[in-house]
Chain A
Amino acid sequence: MEKGSLDMELDPVTFEVLRNAYVNLVDRMSEQIIRTCYSFVIYNRDFSCCLNDASGNTVMQGTQDIAVHVGTLHYTAKAVLDFFEDELYPGDVIIINDPYLGGTHFNDVRIMRPVFSDERLIAITQTNGHWADIGGPVPGSFNIKAQDFYSEGLRIPPTKIWEKGKHRKDVANMIASNVRMPEDTLGDMRAQTEATRIGEERLFELIDKYGLDTVVTAFQESQNYVERIMRRRISELPDGTWETEDYIDQDPNAEEGLVRIAVKMTIDGDEVHYDLSGSDPYTGSFLNGSFGSSFSAVIAGTKTFFPDVPLNSGMYRVIHATLPPGTVVNAPAPVACTGFCSGAYEKIMNAIFELWSQVLPERAMACSFNLEYLLVGGKDQRSGYGGKEFMWYDWMAGGWGGRVGKDGANATAPVFGAGLAVQPLEGQERGAPVLTTEHRLVTDSGGPGKFRGGCGVAKGALLTEAGKPVMSYCADRERSITWGILGGLPSIPQGVVLNPGAPQEQHLGVVFSNVPIRAGDSFTRPSAGGGGYGDPLERDPERVLEDVKDEYVSLERALRDYGVVVREVDRELAEYEIDREATEGERQAIRENRAMWLEEDPEAVAKKFAEGKIDELDLFRRYGVILDRNTNRVFQRTTRQFRAMLKRRAVPFWT
């Protein structure tokens, strides 16, 4: 940074000390939450903490915070300030979970404490934790069938749970009485409240030491600091406009066909503007995004390309987003949007990844797998469990997109929050009559590419002594399959299979609710791998060989996706070899034909599939055809859109 461009009011030492002290303050709030929480979702790190200034702007957000809460906490702080105006007092604690006031979804419950110094509001300490349940018709409060929020769960507008230092037992009880696990809920309310108190305590220590004015000045300076860094970074980039689109599988209220989320990014001087105006109207499923969650996706998507820049409202001064109301990225109340995390959210993020991959090619990354949640509920009839309700609530890791010079990461938490841990099955088996049958990487799930996508995961289970079990699923990308870039190919479709391998095997899809199943039924589902980066025919055959040895890639797909002919030497010793000559021939044949495959009549392709001449991966990787997985009927419109996508992301980069 050149001399003289600094207009800080604080000396460099005080500023640096306070800036770090704010990081430390927020991380200590996080530490408190993880050590005392009750919700297993919070425990697996679906929570965030921040320090807001007196106007609600974020001064610092936790270093390990989950992406999905980024860019939303200042909105809820502001909503609370707007609502209470001058009726906030020392000793107040406020709860809010309203997605229509800048929040994400009902399960994300924010608890915040206004901090006063001599009667003057100086800051807010805020925590956001994903509660395991927030009421409504479905355990876990993910009601796939909801069209509006009335049938989702409890909406909490700005509400005091402590007032002037006195606990509002009545209010806490009202909330706890509307959710499935009132005891845990009260515990989490307490854990989050205490965390905000710890933030307040630490802030008072800083005020004692540095004085109120200095501390408050440093709130602003911290935001100016982040703003300066972002402006500087962006001003070094070329101006221009980049566009792309990504899709949700379908709108259940409309005909088959992908639902478009269009993202146009403009870099103008030292600011970035995102315009999502080309997106489709909101859908009849709860995968819609609210304003807050979609803004979060914009920020989190951008931040991924600036991983070292700290997060606060300074960043929001530089990044702007147009999110037109009424679209799938800004559904107004009372439209349901609890499932945004599997729907609009990661589509926006991945689209933004693709755009930045063009601006900063050294950090390019193809599409990553889509967040998915599976829920099995019923009565636990094992001896000693007394027939009580159980909830097997599970999410998986998956593959991330291929990168320049590097395959995508295998089995990693969703881009929605790379800190979201998967649950240990040994713990789950104690809590539910569900016996896990597998938790493994899926061979061939990584999207083929010069650098392939990371592998996805399969997790399946058998229902043992379960009474009246039902299953719900919240996911996406069964049709809008995780895509590659710069010539790379798609991964695999997501979706639940009931009784895999048995005669009554059935595809249940990616969005369903309260499907009755029976004790003795088994199920499994894969998470997608990442999309591929670059032309798979340019992948070094040695890398394909190593993948075959480790069964990340099968012999069969080494041939069909990469055109690499690998021969088995001694399977027991994991010894294989490449037939170089045959590989050359195979690669040439694929090169010559692949553009034509995408023009073949989809019905003819479906017929080949039905006759067993091509397999499921060929369907969409080679022919770009999307079928109904139970009936094998071609989705015509979806197929057209999917092929257009391949022609944009893959074909132009093939040689």
Chain B
Amino acid sequence: MIRAGVDVGGTFTDTIIFHEKTGKIDITKTPSTPDNPAEGILRGLEKADLDFSNLTLFSHGSTVGTNALITRDLPHTGLITTTGFRDVLEIGRATKEDVWDAYKDVAPPYVRRRDRLEVEERIDYDGTVVTPLNEDQARNVVRIFKRRGVKTIAISLINAYMNGAHEKRMRDIVEKGHPDAFVCCSHEILPEMFEHERTSTTVINAALAPVVMEYLTDLAKRLKAKGYGGDVLAMHSGGGVMTVEAMSFYASRIANSGPTAGAIAGAFIAQQCGFENAIGLDMGGTSTDVSLTFKGKVQTTDEWWVEYGYPIMFPSADIKTIGAGGGSVAWIDEGGALRVGPKSMGADPGPACYGKGGDQPTITDANLILNWLAPEMFLGGDMKIVPGLSKEVLQKRVADHFNMDLIDAAVAVEEIAVANISNAVGLVSTAKGFDPRDFVLVAFGGAGPLHAANVAKTMNIPQVIVPPWPGINSALGCLLVNIEHDLSQTFITPAEDDVVPDLERKFQEMEEEMEGRLEKERIAKDAMRVDRSLSMRYTGQWRHLSIPAARPLGKTLKGVVEKFHQEHRRVHAYSDLERDVQIYGLRVTGKGLVQKPVFPKIQKGDAEKALRGKRAAYFKEEGGFVPTAVYLRSMLGAGARMEGPAIVEQMDSTIAIPPGDVAQVDGMGNIIITVGR
């Protein structure tokens, strides 16, 4: 009984293999193979000496979709629209991401104008056919696409979310006239109002389907050949997995799956330690991802994109990314302010101390100067570090400028980095009505555990968890999720009791479809969990809030409306009981519960055994360099207790426990830091 979770990143493919019987965990890191990601996945599994015949679950996340979109390495894609509307995709909402820079443009559309063809037809706002589909034109369009060698076609007609008949008929015509093409319709992919958003999602789906299918099919074949008999599961942005079959229909959902898996790992680790509410902090070399889990549920958003202007309207984990990583540069801007990031030296040339020509001080350089990082511990000791270079560049570029002591400059860099990350934490928490005091901070990435305690202190978060393997959270997340689908539909009506029968009927239709999908994914009835929710707002408002609803609804909407008022108060700090409430849409989520791995307990042991020695590290709380205990993570047993100032070192990360904080190792090997006040 073996489970494998894999995260295919842009540079590395991370693998975590969990042997259920023995509790053994293997972790590997291999270079990604962008030409065929299946290659790198197989290598990662083989590197861990995986016994494929005993593999019971394979689940992975990947950046394949995201990369294909960014590099435009997409198959020849066509779009069919209503006459007069082929440019809806290009016009979009017409806004710019950078509102002031006249030289920064929105990315060009994924389908060129010449490959956007129109057919005469029109359906109005309530689904009535105003102009029937001109089938001669439809056939002609398909013939042209076939001649052009178009491989995949998106169909998005105006108001199709109210009536999909024309899109269905159009698809039949495509299937008949150009049977080799992949085709998808907007009313099936996303039956929601707003033509640009629906078209954008459908186009991305059509463009990615061949890309994603190509490697998934190959991966499934190779895994089978190796003896794996189960489903090949792929993570989607909403925080569940799908089978290859479902992914072929919803290819656009694979984008953002890696970071989402990371967020899920954060939620899981927190839950394992007994926390329902968690903020995930994943800090690598160039950026930091922050996510939030409330009552066990990773917060999601419907507003995201790979490139600005082309929204993908499926839920995705709500992740705030900022340019703060170990390689982020400390610099002085024209106004004389000390800035940290978003410029980054990345891994090459990297921080000055790498000695690879980096001439800018980075966060890592500052941490090295403070002696939080030990030169001999970089990459497990495989990398030669020159601390003198860190001092030289920080002195020259920061300390001299402000007539500051070198150490004060290093502290300043650390403090500004912590403040920037704290602002990002504020954007996912306080800005959305969540009180950080009710949360635990879960630190991931090479650099996260180094700064987490300081971020927690700044944000009044009482505790920090550093999991045993902070560097492979996305791969871990892939092991932890259920099969999950969601369906949504626009349905606008006053929230009054007389619409209950209509709502109930709509919900039941959606639930039936959901159960059909889960069945297709071979989920047994008793392992299915189907939930419904309503999108609601005050009549006249534009944004809506998602409110869980009972199944069945019962006789009255009073309870749901009351919940809406409460949620509005929680999120926006006020509610208005006298205002009419409107329902905007329906959503059904379905889960096929996958049994979660139970990770083994580690042996007990006190901290003394793991003590590697002491070194003088700088902590501003102490006002100088103080003797600081340094522990080896791998030697720490359950129950070990460490008082700050202390440093814990492991192969891929370093944990700083500042003075006043106390850390304790739990039964699973997580280090839990209680932040001193």
On whether the two chains bind one another, the answer is yes
Query: Taking the complex as formed, is B101 at the interface, i.e. its CB lies under 8 A from any CB of chain A?
Result: yes
Pairwise interchain contact B335-A226, C-beta atoms closer than 8 A: yes
The answer to whether A363 and B102 touch across the interface, beta carbons within 8 angstroms, is yes
CA distance A436 to B84 in the complex (A): 9
* Any B CB within 8 A of the CB of A6: yes
Asked if A148 is at the interface (CB within 8 A of a chain B CB), the reply is no
The interface residues of chain A lying within 8 Å CB-to-CB of B193 are 424, 426-427, 430
A276–B579 Cα gap in the complex (Å)?
Answer: 49
Q: Is the CB of B84 within 8 A of A422?
A: no
Q: Mark A414-430, 1 if CB is under 8 A from B, else 0.
A: 00011111101111011
Q: Tell whether, in the assembled complex, residue A16 and residue B337 are in contact, meaning their CB atoms are under 8 Å apart.
A: yes
Determine the residue in chain A with the shortest Cβ distance to B576.
Answer: A190
Chain B's closest residue to A181 (CB) is B540
Q: Does B297 belong to the interface (CB within 8 Å)?
A: no
Which of B87-95, B201-209, B267-275, B382-390 lies on the face that meets chain A?
B87-95
Q: 0/1 per residue, B414-449, Cβ < 8 Å to A? A: 011001100100110001000000000000000000
Interface: B96 (CB within 8 A): yes
- Please, which residue of chain B has its CB at the minimum distance from the CB of A413? B94
Digitize B102-119: 1 where CB-to-A-CB distance is under 8 Å, 0 elsewhere: 111110000011100000
With a cutoff of 8 Å between Cβ atoms, the chain B residues found around residue A397 in the complex are: 91, 94
Q: Which residue of A lies closest to B432 (CB)?
A: A31
Picked from B85, B99, B426, the residue with its CB within 8 Å of the CB of A64 is B99
Smallest Cβ distance from A545 to chain B, in angstroms? Answer: 12
Pair A304/B337 contact, Cβ less than 8 Å? no
Q: List B contacts of A12 (CB < 8 A).
A: 337-338, 402, 404, 412
Which residues of A have CB within 8 Å of B404? 12
Q: Which of A59-73 contact B (CB under 8 A)?
A: 64-67
Q: Is A20 located at the chain interface by the 8 A CB criterion?
A: yes
Instruction: Kindly state whether residue B333 has any CB partner on chain A within 8 Å.
Output: yes
Decide if A437 touches B84 in the complex (CB within 8 Å).
yes
- Cβ of A78 under 8 Å from chain B: no
Give B69-104 interface residues, CB cut-off 8 Å to A. 84-88, 90-96, 98-104
The verdict on A37 contacting chain B, using a C-beta distance below 8 Å, is: yes
Q: A418: which of B99, B195, B426 is its contact (CB, 8 Å)?
A: B99
Contact status A424-B102, CB under 8 Å: no
Q: How large is the interface on B (under 10, 10 to 19, 20 to 34, 35 or more residues)?
A: 35 or more
**Residue A38 interfacial (CB < 8 Å):** yes
Chain B, 157-200, CB within 8 A of any chain A CB: 158-159, 161, 193-197
B343 within 8 A of A: no
**Bound complex: CA of A369 vs CA of B11, how far in Å?**
43
Query: Any chain B CB within 8 A of the CB of A572?
Result: yes
CA distance A12 to B427 in the complex (A): 23
Across chains A and B, the number of contacting residue pairs, with CB separation under 8 Å, is 217
Chain A: how many interface residues by the 8 Å CB criterion?
Answer: 88
Q: Provided the pairs A183-B540, A225-B337, A439-B87 are in contact, do residues A412 and B124 lie with their beta carbons within 8 angstroms? A: no
Contacts of A353 in B (CB 8 A): 102
Given contacts A411-B94, A429-B159, whether A418 and B100 have CB atoms under 8 Å apart is yes
B125 CB within 8 Å of chain A: yes
**CA separation between A486 and B445, bound complex, in Å?**
52
In the complex, are the beta carbons of A441 and B113 less than 8 A apart? Answer: yes
Asked whether A363 lies within 8 Å of B93 as measured between CB atoms, the reply is no
A424–B542 CA distance with the chains assembled, in angstroms: 13
Which label, helix, strand, loop or mixed, suits the secondary structure of the B interface?
loop
**Residues in chain A near residue B415, CB distance under 8 A:** 13, 17
Which of B99, B335, B427, B571 makes the CB contact (< 8 A) with A24?
B427
B-side contacts of A552, CB under 8 Å: 113
Assess whether B91 is in contact with A411, with CB atoms less than 8 Å apart: yes
> Is B132 in contact with chain A by the CB < 8 A criterion?
no
Cα A40 to Cα B542 in complex, Å, equals 7
Do A233 and B334 touch (CB < 8 A)?
yes
Q: Is residue A410 contacting chain B, with contact meaning CB distance below 8 A?
A: yes
- Tell whether A8 pairs with B412 under 8 Å between CB atoms, given A411-B94, A552-B113: no
Interface 1/0 per residue, A390-406 and B, CB below 8 Å:
00000011001001001
Chain B residues with CB below 8 A from A410, complex form: 90-91
A17 touches B416 (CB 8 A): yes
Q: Is the CB of A38 within 8 A of B125?
A: no
A413-B96, A426-B193, A427-B193 known; A20 and B538 CB under 8 Å? Answer: no
Point out which of B85, B95, B98 has the most chain A C-beta atoms below 10 A from its C-beta: B95
Please give the distance in Å from A339's CB to the nearest CB on chain B: 21
Q: Is B401 an interface residue (CB 8 A)?
A: yes
Interface residues of A in 578-612 (CB under 8 A from B): none
State in angstroms the CA–CA spacing of A43 and B99 once bound together: 16
Q: Is A347 an interface residue (CB 8 A)?
A: no
Q: How far is the CB of B331 from chain A (nearest CB, A)?
A: 11
Measured between beta carbons, the chain B residues less than 8 angstroms from A421 are 93-95
CA distance A354 to B337 in the complex (A): 32
A440 at the interface (CB under 8 A from B): yes
Write the nearest CB–CB distance from A231 to chain B, whole angstroms: 10
Across the interface, do A31 and B431 meet the contact criterion of CB distance under 8 Å? yes
The answer to whether B124 touches A435, judged by C-beta atoms less than 8 angstroms apart, is: yes
Is A574's beta carbon under 8 Å from chain B?
A: yes
Cα A551 to Cα B103 in complex, Å, equals 24
Closest to B104 in A: A307
Which among A21, A65, A307, A439 is the interface contact of B423 at CB below 8 angstroms?
A21
List A contacts of B158 (CB < 8 A). Answer: 425-426, 436
Nearest residue (CB) in B for A5 is: B336
B166 → chain A closest CB, angstroms: 15
Instruction: Tell me the minimal C-beta distance from A382 to chain B in angstroms.
Output: 9
Q: How far is the CB of B129 from chain A (nearest CB, A)?
A: 13
Residue of A nearest to B426 (CB): A24
B100 touches A16 (CB 8 A): no
Give Cα distance in the complex from A38 to B96, angstroms: 23
Q: Is B22 an interface residue (CB 8 A)?
A: no
**A618 within 8 Å of B (CB atoms):** no
**Contacts A34-B543, A36-B541, A441-B90: A572 and B147 contacting too (C-beta < 8 A)?**
yes
Counting CB contacts under 8 A, is A194 at the interface? yes
B572's partner among A20, A36, A225, A424 (CB-CB below 8 A) is A36
> Which of B335, B400, B573 is packed against the most chain A CB atoms within 10 Å?
B335
Q: Shortest Cβ distance from B267 into chain A, in angstroms?
A: 24
> Any chain A CB within 8 A of the CB of B577?
no
Query: Which residues in A have their C-beta under 8 angstroms from that of B427?
Result: 24, 28
Query: How long is the Cα–Cα vector from A549 to B542 in the complex, in angstroms?
Result: 39
User: Could you tell me the distance in whole angstroms from the C-beta of B442 to the nearest C-beta in chain A?
Assistant: 23
Bound: A508/B567 CA distance, A: 49
Q: How far is the CA of A181 from the CA of B102 in the complex (A)?
A: 36
**Residues on B with beta carbons closer than 8 Å to the beta carbon of A439:** 84-85, 87-88, 91
> B563 contacts the other chain (Cβ, under 8 Å)?
no
Give Cα distance in the complex from A183 to B576, angstroms. 12
Question: Does B332 count as interface, using CB distance less than 8 angstroms?
Answer: yes
Q: How far is the CB of A337 from chain B (nearest CB, A)?
A: 24
Partner of A457, one of B91, B195, B337: B91
> Closest chain B residue to A201 by CB distance?
B573
Q: Please list 8 pairs of residues, one from A and one from B, whose beta carbons are closer than 8 Å in the complex, sorted by A's number.
A: A13-B419, A35-B543, A229-B334, A397-B94, A410-B91, A424-B194, A436-B158, A440-B87
Q: Give me the 5 closest cross-chain CB pairs, A-B, nearest first.
A: A397-B94, A438-B84, A307-B100, A307-B101, A421-B93
User: Interface on A for B, CB 8 Å cutoff?
Assistant: 1, 3, 5-6, 8, 11-13, 15-17, 19-21, 24, 28, 31-32, 34-38, 40, 43, 45, 64-67, 181, 183-184, 187, 190, 194, 197-198, 225-226, 228-229, 232-233, 303-304, 307-308, 353, 363, 365, 396-397, 400, 403, 406, 409-413, 417-422, 424-427, 429-430, 435-441, 457, 549-552, 572-574
Given A21-B423, A418-B96, 20 extra CB contacts under 8 A: A6-B402, A21-B419, A36-B541, A38-B540, A43-B542, A181-B540, A187-B541, A187-B576, A229-B334, A307-B102, A396-B94, A409-B105, A410-B90, A417-B99, A419-B95, A424-B93, A426-B159, A438-B85, A550-B112, A572-B147
| Interface positions of B (Cβ within 8 A of A) | 84-88, 90-96, 98-106, 112-114, 122, 124-125, 130, 144, 147-148, 158-159, 161, 193-197, 332-340, 400-404, 411-412, 415-416, 419-420, 423, 426-427, 431, 492, 538, 540-543, 571-574, 576, 579
